[in-house]
């Protein structure tokens, strides 16, 4: 591959809803540009970007894949992203490093949630974008209706091509820039030019006028010429098109069928008119230790090195693999760089360009381009690599928070440590996958972006490392406390052939303020219990509070006063008083009107207006309490308190209710008393589990 300057590079993130045809389009672009000699098919499992075993088996994209093609003296880095929301972390990382976004939509499905989210990410990062209306040859395809539906996105969408026929009548495409009509020719890579259909002239004129208006308004000189009644040349249209796209003044839309390879050829011409890294919006970095001092990074080869790691993977053979984008300078093989985040030096081995699973070793990678390096010991996703003399921190990827959690155990006894190691490795590879230990429920908890996300992680561990695991809904960390007072005696006496055991403790148990925890009061007078045994009583009470009498949950928020007792000068011991304290605790709690409390989560749900009623109804069914609603950018933000026990599958249900258009965040708020009927079930389940064990 020839060397390219930063202004010759195009970095295109390809986004869509699942099954809209991103991977097929990527394949067609690679084929038409000559990057590959045979057109692969997703159904056959032989595409360049879906090369992972999991992707082939599931017939869907799971990982972000870099692919390279060359077109009209430009290098185009295609970043094929997964469509499912379960892999939102991959989508977010790709958007962060893309200079342009191509949104693929299915002409038979209208505006889908994945396209909306891709548009929102483009807005978030202020990235130029284009739309490819795919599957125009499908039976239920619609062009005009889909174009109208896309207007909901809020941008000025301008067709640069229109189809000749739609659905089963689809024959070819009219290029509104060149004003030429094309159909599929004998050569799969090339289209055959035909005469423009006369019956489409009115439609062509209408869309052509819209295009010329948009192009002229993008440039003052072109606008002056256009308003003066002069025709714009093809070259002038291309100039206005590039400026209008780069400045986000309008969004070009082209169409076709990726599977039949009609349309990707024109799309390649459009992609090279996109912004290069040099033309893209400047990236702002900060100096270490000074978050307020911002520095704009210029994309140029002769600047100091500054690169950003946006993806990390674990390869059974290559080890740790780091994917990066160079924002300034030249990244060279066999060099040393500073990891600014970790304040450590990394030795760089061989750098590679990546296209699917194919790696091409190179001596250097220039500003604006992507690359890959293996075996960086300290470097992770979101780290910045720089020259020692010019340390800067690039803004991190704003990864979404996990929305579903599961308890996990190894399928084979004795694999605990091995599973833990593999899970930890997965968290390094995927920042949206979280591993933690719940000390209250004694469970290992994994969290991710959805059931599919969790299943893919577990499949990877099984296939790569031969470790199988089982998952289940996590236990709710209930807590127990009391609402009444009680005074009880705990007397432990054990006589054996030798020295016996004797401890006698009287305690007074009463509620403490919510959240105040446990308070122990020593009220012993007159030596009823020797001073050396009082700490043992307190310890016995604290240990007893680890498992309550109703559901075996942690006991909280109570005062216990030790006010009387007795001892034996020979048989008393610390152990005896610990046991006596635990006996007194159990009896006192039974008599002090115990009850169960459950964790309440503060939930914030963002949904389009049309789903408000269904979402509110669903929250009510989950014992949710609505706290308020606020409009935001055409959507509603609902705030509610909902019991944790009702939220474990909420991500799945919300996607179903809102056609994947809803999102939510959740964090712990407080504890509340469990309703009586639910409390009875919890107690019954606990008692049954105790009997079975």
- Shared-domain flag, residues 110 and 230: yes
CA atoms within 13 A on the CB side of 20: 30
- Per-residue pLDDT tens digits for 90-121: 999 999 999 999 999 999 999 999 999 999 99
H or E stretch at 463: helix 451-465
- Shared-domain flag, residues 233 and 292: no
Q: Is residue 238 part of a domain?
A: yes
Q: What is the rounded (10 degree) CA torsion for 664, 669, 675, 678?
A: 60
Question: What pTM did the predictor assign?
Answer: 0.91
CA distance linking residue 581 with residue 529, whole number of Å: 12
| Residue that terminates a domain, selected from 437, 456, 472 | 472
The whole-number pLDDT of residue 633 equals 79
- Per-residue pLDDT tens digits for 46-74: 999 999 888 999 999 999 999 999 999 99
- Shared-domain flag, residues 196 and 301: no
The whole-number pLDDT of residue 464 equals 83
First to last CA, the chain: 66
CATH number at residue 451: 3.30.70.870
Q: How many CB atoms lie under 10 A from the CB of residue 628?
A: 8
CA atoms within 13 A on the CB side of 405: 20
Q: Are strands 558-566 and 518-522 parallel, antiparallel or unpaired?
A: parallel
CA distance linking residue 144 with residue 664, whole number of Å: 33
Please say whether the dihedral angle defined by the alpha carbons of residues 419, 423, 424 and 425, taken in this order, is positive or negative.
Answer: positive
Q: Is residue 396 part of a domain?
A: no
Q: Is residue 107 part of a domain?
A: yes
Q: Is residue 80 part of a domain?
A: yes
- Give a three-class secondary structure readout of 266-328: HHHHHHCCCCCCCCCCCEEEEECCEEEEEEEECCCCCCCCEEEEEEEEEECCCEEEEEEEEEE
Q: What is the CA radius of gyration of the chain?
A: 32
The whole-number pLDDT of residue 497 equals 65
- Shared-domain flag, residues 331 and 230: no
- Shared-domain flag, residues 58 and 203: yes
The whole-number pLDDT of residue 445 equals 97
The whole-number pLDDT of residue 318 equals 80
Look at residues 381, 375, 306, 366 and name the one whose alpha carbon lies nearest to residue 332: 366
Q: Is residue 355 part of a domain?
A: yes
User: Which residues lie closer than 8 Å to 407 by C-beta, 6 or more apart?
Assistant: 441, 443, 444, 445, 471, 472, 473, 474, 475
Buried b (16+ CB within 10 A) or exposed e, 344-369: eebebeebbbbbbeebeebebbbbbb
**Share of residues in the chain with pLDDT > 90 (%):** 89
Spacing of C-alpha 392 from chain mean position: 26
- Shared-domain flag, residues 587 and 617: no
CATH number at residue 674: 3.30.70.240
- Shared-domain flag, residues 54 and 176: yes
Count of positions (residues) in the chain: 693
Domain count along the chain: 5
- Shared-domain flag, residues 566 and 670: no
Look at residues 353, 390, 351, 391 and name the one whose alpha carbon lies nearest to residue 374: 351
Show the domain range for 571: 479-592
Q: Could you tell me if 467 and 476 are in contact, meaning their C-beta atoms sit under 8 angstroms apart?
A: no
The whole-number pLDDT of residue 185 equals 84
Q: Is residue 674 part of a domain?
A: yes
- Shared-domain flag, residues 66 and 215: yes
| Residue that terminates a domain, selected from 414, 438, 472 | 472
CATH number at residue 373: 2.40.30.10
Q: Is residue 399 part of a domain?
A: no
- Shared-domain flag, residues 461 and 491: no
Low-confidence ranges of the chain (pLDDT < 50): none
CA distance linking residue 340 with residue 335, whole number of Å: 16
Q: Is residue 690 part of a domain?
A: no
CATH number at residue 504: 3.30.230.10
- Shared-domain flag, residues 232 and 127: yes
CA distance linking residue 42 with residue 57, whole number of Å: 10
Say which residue the tokens 């399928």 belong to: 411
DSSP-H helix ranges across 38-151: 53-58, 88-97, 113-125, 144-150
| Residue that terminates a domain, selected from 242, 271, 300 | 271
Q: Are strands 283-287 and 290-297 parallel, antiparallel or unpaired?
A: antiparallel
- Per-residue pLDDT tens digits for 433-481: 999 999 989 999 999 999 999 999 999 999 888 999 999 999 999 999 9
User: Which residues lie closer than 8 Å to 643 by C-beta, 6 or more apart?
Assistant: 598, 599, 600, 601, 622, 623, 624, 672
- Shared-domain flag, residues 249 and 361: no
CA distance linking residue 214 with residue 101, whole number of Å: 19
| Token digits of residue 354 | 């990546």
H or E stretch at 583: helix 574-591
CATH number at residue 160: 3.40.50.300
């Amino acid at each position: 591959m020839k060397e390219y300057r930063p202004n010759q590079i195009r970095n295109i993130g390809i986004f869509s809803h699942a099954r809209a045809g991103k991977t097929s389009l990527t394949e067609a672009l690679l084929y038409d540009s000559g990057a590959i000699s045979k057109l692969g098919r997703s159904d056959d499992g032989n595409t360049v970007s879906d090369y992972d075993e999991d992707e082939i088996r599931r017939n869907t994209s799971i990982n972000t894949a870099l692919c390279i093609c060359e077109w009209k003296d430009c290098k185009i880095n295609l970043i094929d992203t997964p469509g499912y929301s379960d892999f939102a972390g991959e989508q977010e990382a790709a958007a962060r490093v893309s200079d342009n976004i191509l949104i693929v939509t299915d002409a038979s499905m209208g505006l889908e949630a994945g396209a909306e989210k891709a548009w929102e990410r483009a807005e978030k990062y202020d990235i130029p974008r284009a739309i490819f209306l795919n599957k125009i040859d499908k039976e239920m395809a619609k062009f005009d209706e889909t174009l109208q539906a896309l207007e909901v996105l809020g941008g000025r969408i301008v067709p640069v091509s229109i189809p000749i026929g739609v659905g089963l009548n689809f024959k070819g495409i009219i290029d509104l820039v060149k004003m030429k009509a094309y159909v599929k020719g004998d050569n799969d890579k090339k289209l055959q030019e035909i005469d423009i259909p006369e019956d489409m002239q009115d439609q062509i004129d209408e869309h052509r006028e819209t295009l010329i208006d948009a192009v002229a308004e993008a440039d003052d000189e072109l606008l002056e010429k256009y308003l003066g009644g002069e025709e714009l040349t093809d070259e002038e249209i291309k100039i206005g098109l590039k400026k209008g796209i780069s400045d986000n003044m309008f969004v070009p839309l082209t169409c076709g069928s990726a599977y039949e390879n009609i349309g990707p050829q024109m799309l390649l011409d459009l992609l090279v008119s996109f912004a290069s890294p040099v033309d893209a919006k400047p990236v702002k970095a900060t100096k270490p230790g000074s978050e307020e001092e911002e520095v704009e990074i210029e994309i140029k080869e002769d600047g100091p090195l500054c690169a950003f790691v946006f993806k990390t993977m674990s390869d059974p053979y290559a080890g740790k693999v780091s994917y990066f984008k160079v924002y300034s300078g030249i990244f060279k093989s066999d060099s040393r760089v500073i990891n600014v985040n970790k304040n450590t030096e990394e030795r760089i081995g061989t750098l590679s360009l990546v296209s699917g699973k194919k790696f091409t070793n190179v001596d250097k990678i220039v500003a604006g381009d992507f690359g890959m390096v293996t075996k960086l010991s300290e470097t992770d996703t979101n780290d910045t690599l720089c020259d020692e003399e010019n340390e800067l921190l690039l803004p991190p990827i704003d990864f979404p928070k996990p929305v579903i959690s599961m308890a996990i155990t190894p399928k084979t006894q004795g694999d605990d440590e091995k599973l833990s190691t593999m899970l930890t490795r997965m968290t390094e590879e995927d920042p949206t996958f979280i591993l933690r230990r719940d000390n209250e429920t004694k469970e290992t908890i994994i969290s991710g972006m959805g059931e599919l996300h969790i299943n893919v992680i577990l499949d990877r561990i099984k296939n790569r490392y031969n470790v199988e695991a089982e998952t289940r809904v996590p236990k709710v960390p209930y807590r127990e406390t009391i609402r009444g007072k009680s005074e009880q005696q705990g007397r432990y006496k054990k006589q054996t052939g030798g020295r016996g055991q004797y401890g006698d403790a009287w305690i007074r148990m009463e509620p403490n303020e919510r959240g105040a925890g446990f308070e122990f009061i020593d009220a012993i007078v007159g030596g009823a219990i020797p001073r050396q045994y009082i700490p043992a009583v307190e310890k016995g009470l604290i240990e007893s509070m680890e498992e309550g009498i109703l559901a075996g949950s942690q006991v909280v928020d109570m005062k216990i006063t030790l006010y009387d007792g007795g001892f034996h000068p020979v048989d008393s011991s610390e152990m005896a008083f610990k046991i006596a304290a635990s006996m007194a605790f159990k009896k006192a709690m039974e008599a002090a009107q115990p009850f169960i409390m459950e964790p309440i989560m503060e939930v914030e749900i963002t949904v389009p207006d049309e789903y408000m009623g269904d979402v509110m109804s669903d929250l009510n069914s989950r014992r949710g309490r609505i706290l308020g609603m606020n409009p935001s950018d055409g959507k509603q933000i609902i705030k509610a308190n909902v019991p944790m026990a009702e939220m474990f599958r909420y991500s799945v249900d919300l996607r179903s209710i809102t056609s994947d258009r809803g999102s939510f965040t959740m964090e712990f708020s407080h504890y509340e008393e469990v309703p009586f009927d639910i409390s009875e079930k919890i107690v019954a389940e606990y008692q049954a589990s105790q009997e079975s064990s």
